[in-house]
Amino acid sequence: MAVFTEVTPAQAQQIASHLGLGAVSQLRGIEGGIENTNYFLSTQNDQAAESHYVLTLFERLQAEQLPFYLYLMKHLAQAGIPVPDPQANAYGDILLSVGGKPATVVNKLSGKSQLQPETRHCEAVGDMLARMHLAGQDYGREQPNLRGLAWWNDTVPLVMPFLDENQSALIQTELAWQNHLAASPEAKALPMGPVHADLFRDNVMFEGDKLTGFFDFYFAGCDTWLFDVAVCLNDWCIDLATGQHDERRAQAFTQAYQAVRAFTPAEHQLFPSLLRAAALRFWISRLWDFYLPRQASLLKPHDPQHFERVLRERVNHPWRPA
């Protein structure tokens, strides 16, 4: 569990009262996060009816960056996309401050994550991701993907001292290719808009086979929709032990996505390169978290070698959907 900032029961009650949520009945740190402090927060109203929320304290993001994420969730929720809806006080404010950190409270989604997805789960995610992309087209705020190419260029020199010769060659070669690609007319022709950018298996909820929500939008930004698709395919549609591509799940995902929004010719052309880009992004971030960690209660960074394997697979076995 990553708890960078401890929240006391008194602080939690102050937040709940500020938002008109009732009396706090439970406050519990959430396991798994490595970027923010997250707590389950349960409250009771005067009739003893219980409601469930998630309290997030932002450890890296600044208060001026947060309206993009919070109002994007509001926008998507109002468009019928199942996402956490930030709770507002009597004045409509959804950005709070707790212990000197910016914070927010959102409703808790029902269900649980599907960590061993079948084709039906991939179809559901592909369908909803396309709907989310279309729903975000008219969102009025803009912010770049803060973990995009500029961040890769800044971060690779910091992690290079920890890599062996083969790893160094791979990361430098791929970073050079992605810089070249980003400057090309083909890349600039890719459709773009708000993206989740971190829609892994543990950021989606299911009840049985029904998808009940996308959450953890705090890596979201404006980027190419294909990058968002590639991030998903590199998690939902690979074998976690080997990093190898799973054809059945990948075809199920992309066919469901295209039933809502068809890929453009430019997207078909650059599909293999964006799969490589998505693998590179998470290899870099996991190297950074692993070798340059911050202090946190029981923080367990992910194994960076996993996305090194995924990247090598994507380089050696280029793939496009049917």
Summarised one tens digit per residue, pLDDT across range 92-102 is 999 999 989 99
Is residue 33's pLDDT more than 70?
A: no
pTM for this predicted structure: 0.91
Is residue 32's pLDDT more than 90?
A: no
Is residue 114's pLDDT more than 90?
A: yes
46 and 127 both lie in a single domain: no
- Lowest mean pLDDT segment, chosen from 45-54, 81-90, 173-182, 190-199: 45-54
Residue 49 pLDDT: 85
- DSSP E strands, the chain: 23-29, 36-44, 50-58, 96-98, 101-107, 192-195, 204-207, 210-214, 221-224
88 and 228 both lie in a single domain: no
Is residue 153's pLDDT more than 60?
A: yes
Report the phi/psi class of residue 98: left, alpha or beta, with left for phi > 0 and alpha for psi in -120 to 50.
beta
61 and 131 both lie in a single domain: no
44 and 132 both lie in a single domain: no
- Cβ-contact 233, 252 below 8 angstroms: no
Q: How far is 22 from 45, CA to CA, in rounded Å?
A: 5
Q: How far is 315 from 276, CA to CA, in rounded Å?
A: 7
Look at the chain and report how many structural domains it folds into: 2
190 and 222 both lie in a single domain: yes
In a domain, 41, yes or no: yes
In a domain, 112, yes or no: no
Phi (first) and psi of residue 248, to 5 degrees? -60, -50
The domain containing residue 27 runs over which residues? Answer: 9-107
46 and 23 both lie in a single domain: yes
pLDDT band at 190 (very low <50, low <70, confident <90, very high): very high
- Domain of 251, CATH number, reads 3.90.1200.10
pLDDT band at 302 (very low <50, low <70, confident <90, very high): confident
pLDDT tens profile 71-87: 999 999 999 999 999 99
Is residue 1's pLDDT more than 60?
A: no
In a domain, 239, yes or no: yes
In a domain, 257, yes or no: yes
Is residue 105's pLDDT more than 50?
A: yes
pLDDT tens profile 244-293: 999 999 999 999 999 999 999 999 999 999 999 999 999 999 999 999 98
- Cβ-contact 246, 202 below 8 angstroms: no
In a domain, 2, yes or no: no
**Domain termination residue (choose one: 56, 81, 107):** 107
- Domain of 89, CATH number, reads 3.30.200.20
In a domain, 218, yes or no: yes
| Cβ neighbours of residue 270 closer than 8 Å, sequence gap 6 or more | 181, 186, 187, 190, 226
Nearest partner of 68 among 229, 215, 218, judged by Cα: 218
Residue 62 pLDDT: 87
127 and 102 both lie in a single domain: no
In a domain, 292, yes or no: yes
Tell me the mean pLDDT in the region 158-184.
98
In a domain, 1, yes or no: no
Q: What percent of the chain has pLDDT over 90?
A: 88
141 and 95 both lie in a single domain: no
Q: What percent of the chain has pLDDT over 70?
A: 96
